């Protein structure tokens, strides 16, 4: 048995909560603000190929497609149940995106295929080993000078944010979330070979500090 698959954490940890994911996120996380900012930050071009890693219910993938109808948008998630919700949302919106089942740390795409990789709230679900493997895979599938944009839990701005984040840690586990709150993601980007790594913005939410990062694959 592959221990990396055993450590899989669904959207709200327990499968039976998955159908509540969208309303919970909307009410607690300023979801539309930070996802719109992530899309803006990515400066997606006409006809770009965009991958949304750990796409969940595809809110971000659909936001990209709506803002950039000419982009080819692919969402990937390891959970069949959440992908069913994503497919229903895409059909309801009448937007054409590809939704693939797969693991973020072993991507079913060729080298240098995407112009842009996005990821929202995936990394705190991954062990340190899988964070590193996922960044390496993101690097591999990006074209030279392609960019990786991540929204995820970051280093707490103050003690209040640190305490608030304990709620997320109690739900998703201390093991996978510790790297985030220690502010390790930029260093992991560099280790995977990315350049121009930066934390572009931060949001205070009722459950902790959410950071938007980006980095570029060198030429
Ligand atoms: C908190 S949800 C975020 C979903 C969506 N990106 C968003 O921002 O609403 C985390 C998602 O990552 C997926 N996930 C967790 N581990 C994964 C892995 N190793 N490979 C692919 N998807 C994974 C979960 O199934 C879940 O849908």
pLDDT single digits (tens) 85-139: 999 999 999 999 999 999 999 999 999 999 999 999 999 999 999 999 999 999 9
* Pocket lining: 104 vs ligand 1, CB cutoff 6 Å: yes
CA of 13 relative to ligand 1 center, distance in Å: 10
| 172 has a pLDDT exceeding 50 | yes
Tell me how far the alpha carbon of residue 78 lies from the centroid of ligand 1, in angstroms: 7
144 C-alpha vs ligand 1 centroid, how far in Å?
Answer: 26
Tokens of 216: 């570029």
Average pLDDT over residues 139-158: 96
C-beta of 64 in contact with ligand 1 (< 6 A):
no
Q: Is the CB of 150 under 6 A from ligand 1?
A: no
Residue 105 and residue 192: Cα distance in Å, rounded?
A: 13
Question: How close are the terminal C-alpha atoms of the chain, in Å?
Answer: 38
Q: What percent of the chain has pLDDT over 90?
A: 80
Global pTM exceeds 0.75: yes
Is the pLDDT confidence value at 2 over 50?
yes
Tell me which residue of 98, 114, 105, 122 sits closest to 179, measured CA to CA.
122
- Residue whose CA lies nearest to ligand 1 atom number 17: 78
Between the alpha carbon of residue 201 and those of residues 91, 111, 152, 214, the distances in Å are 32, 29, 11, 10
* Segment 151-164 mean pLDDT: 93
Band (pLDDT 50/70/90 cuts) for residue 1 is very low
Q: Please give the structure tokens belonging to residue 218.
A: 């060198």
Tokens (6 digits) for 83: 């992908």
Q: What is the CA(106)–ligand 1 centre distance, in A?
A: 14
60 C-beta closer than 6 A to ligand 1:
yes
The reply to whether ligand 1 has any atom less than 6 angstroms from the CB of 138 is no
- Name the closest-CA residue to atom 26, ligand 1: 11
- Determine the average pLDDT of the residues in 52-62: 97
Fold of 3-216: Rossmann fold (3.40.50)
Q: 3 pLDDT exceeds 80? A: no
CA distance linking residue 213 with residue 151, whole number of Å: 6
At 134 the pLDDT is 98
Average pLDDT, integer, range 130-152: 98
- What's the whole-number average pLDDT of the chain? 93
Atom number, ligand 1, closest to the C-alpha of residue 130? 19
């Amino acid at each position: 048995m592959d221990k990396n698959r055993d450590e899989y954490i669904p959207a709200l940890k327990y499968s039976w909560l998955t159908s509540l994911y969208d309303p919970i996120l909307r009410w607690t996380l300023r979801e539309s603000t930070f996802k719109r900012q992530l899309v803006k930050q990515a400066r997606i071009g006409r006809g770009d190929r965009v991958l949304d890693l750990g796409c969940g219910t595809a809110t971000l993938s659909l936001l990209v497609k709506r803002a950039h109808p000419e982009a080819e948008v692919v969402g990937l998630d390891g959970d069949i149940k959440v992908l069913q919700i994503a497919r229903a949302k895409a059909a309801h919106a009448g937007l054409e995106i590809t939704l693939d089942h797969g693991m973020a740390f072993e991507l079913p795409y060729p080298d240098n295929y995407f112009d842009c990789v996005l990821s929202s709230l995936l990394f705190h679900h991954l062990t340190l080993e899988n964070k590193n493997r996922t960044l390496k895979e993101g690097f591999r599938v990006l074209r030279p000078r392609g960019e990786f944009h991540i929204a995820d839990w970051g280093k707490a701005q103050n003690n209040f944010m640190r305490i608030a984040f304990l709620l997320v840690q109690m739900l998703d586990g201390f093991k996978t979330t510790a790297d985030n709150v220690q502010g390790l993601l930029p260093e992991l980007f560099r280790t995977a070979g990315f350049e121009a790594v930066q934390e572009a913005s931060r949001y205070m939410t009722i459950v902790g500090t959410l950071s938007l990062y980006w980095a570029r694959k060198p030429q």
